[in-house]
Amino acid sequence: MKEKLEDFLFYMKFEKNMSPNTLSAYEKDLQDFVSFLEENKINIKNFKREDWQRYLVSLYKKYKVKSIARKISAIRSFLRFLLRENYIDKNYTGFMIIPKIPLHLPEVLDKREVENFLKIPNPSSILGIRNQAIMETFYATGMRVSELVNLNLQSIDLREKIVRCFGKGEKERIIPLGDYAAESLSRYLDIRERFNPKDKKALFLNKKGYRITRQGVWLIIKTYGKLLGLSKRVTPHTFRHSFATHLLLNGADIRIVQELLGHSDISTTQIYTHIISSKLHEIYERAHPLIRRNSK
């Protein structure tokens, strides 16, 4: 089984172009499953529904639904691979039902909160100029923090107002830059040399002149969130959620938003339609005269 697991991970890495983070998660989940089979002396070729139920019980004792769903997805993919390789002759995935994950709507900033966020950085300090460029880029592009910190100087084209980034699975996408983000990046590039760059390629630098880290960006956003006194937990991903939500609220096609975010599956993008629906209900309840009359 361990050899087959190695074959599967090789297949997912080189044939399916799976990202390193996802591959690492799959490897851990499947090693746990293989260990369960070995400890209980279960031959995968004679795997039974009762065996699966025992394993499922063990998962529910240790993990939350979201983690269990991910683990089951990894196991199903592995077993389909074994079936294609003729290592097993039965399809066991029929009784491996992935549990429904409770819908959790991500936190978003409204337009005024975003504007207030972007006003905080000190425009007379090099750190303030850099921080504003980082946040403007987040809000203009909806990038993941990992994508933003990996941007290089060659990644941006201020004349065309576009940025090239590499998302999950090393897939490249081109995202437009708005006027504010382009202007903010231009101001930052004018003072970038004052960071005494040690990394000549990196776009965003830390105080020591090296490429800024994910942790460094998180700290910037967290600090500004506290200064604003927001009750919401604001992270770099909050800007990504806000970017998508604001586009859809202003009439953008969900397929375009999917492409801009780099989602491979439209169902991932559809979470933002739930946010919009929730917000419309809030507005309706506040504004409709019948609702207000009944609440008195």
Q: Kindly report, residue by residue over 16-48, the tens digit of the pLDDT.
A: 888 888 899 999 999 999 999 999 999 999 999
pLDDT at 289 over 70: no
Share of the chain above pLDDT 90, in %: 62
Catalytic annotation, pick one of 70, 76, 237, 279? 237
Quote the distance between the C-alpha of residue 193 and its chain's center.
Answer: 31
- Find tokens 């000549």 and name the residue: 200
- CA–CA separation, 58 and 42 (whole Å): 15
What pLDDT does 274 receive? 65
Catalytic annotation, pick one of 168, 173, 214, 222? 168
| CATH assignment of the domain containing 47 | 1.10.150.130
pLDDT at 159: 94
User: What Cα–Cα distance (Å) separates residue 142 from each residue in 55, 79, 161, 177, 240?
Assistant: 39, 35, 15, 10, 4
> Is-catalytic flag, 168?
yes
Average pLDDT, the chain: 88
Distances from the Cα of 259 to the Cα of 83, 171, 173, 251, 254, angstroms: 33, 11, 8, 15, 9
Length of the chain: 296
246 flagged as catalytic: no
Return all residues near 254 (Cβ < 8 A) that are at least 6 apart.
248, 266, 269, 270, 272, 273
* Tokens standing for residue 43: 């031959």
8-state DSSP, 156: E
Query: What do you get for the CA distance between the two ends of the chain, in Å?
Result: 67
pLDDT grade for 251, boundaries at 50, 70 and 90: confident
Of 130, 144, 241, 246, which is the active-site residue? Answer: 144
103 inside domain = no
**Average pLDDT for 222-242:** 90
Q: Is residue 77 located within the same domain as residue 191? A: no
pLDDT band at 118 (very low <50, low <70, confident <90, very high): very high
pLDDT classification of 287: cutoffs 50, 70, 90: low
Q: pLDDT (tens digit, 9 = 90+) per residue, 40-76?
A: 999 999 999 999 999 998 998 898 888 898 999 999 9
Do 134 and 214 lie in one domain? The reply is yes
Tell me the residue range of the domain where 254 lies: 111-284
Asked, for residue 105, whether it belongs to a domain, the answer is no
Among this protein's residues, is 130 annotated catalytic?
no
Is pLDDT at 87 greater than 80 in this prediction?
yes
* Whether 237 is catalytic: yes
Is residue 42 in a domain?
yes
Whether residue 87 sits in one domain with residue 130: no
Contact between residue 139 and residue 240 where contact means Cβ atoms under 8 Å apart: no
Mark whether 241 is an active-site residue: no
Give the pLDDT of residue 209. Answer: 97
Known catalytic residue: 164?
Answer: no
Neighbouring residues of 10: CB distance < 8 A, sequence distance ≥ 6: none
> Of the ranges 72-76, 133-137, 216-220, 284-288, which one carries the lowest mean pLDDT score?
284-288
pLDDT digits (tens, 9 = 90+) for 146-205: 999 999 999 999 999 999 998 877 788 999 999 999 999 999 999 999 999 999 999 999
- Together in a domain, 38 and 71: yes
Alpha helix (H) ranges present in 85-213?
111-119, 126-141, 145-149, 179-191
- CATH number, domain of 200, equals 1.10.443.10
Look at residue 106 and tell me if it is in a domain.
no
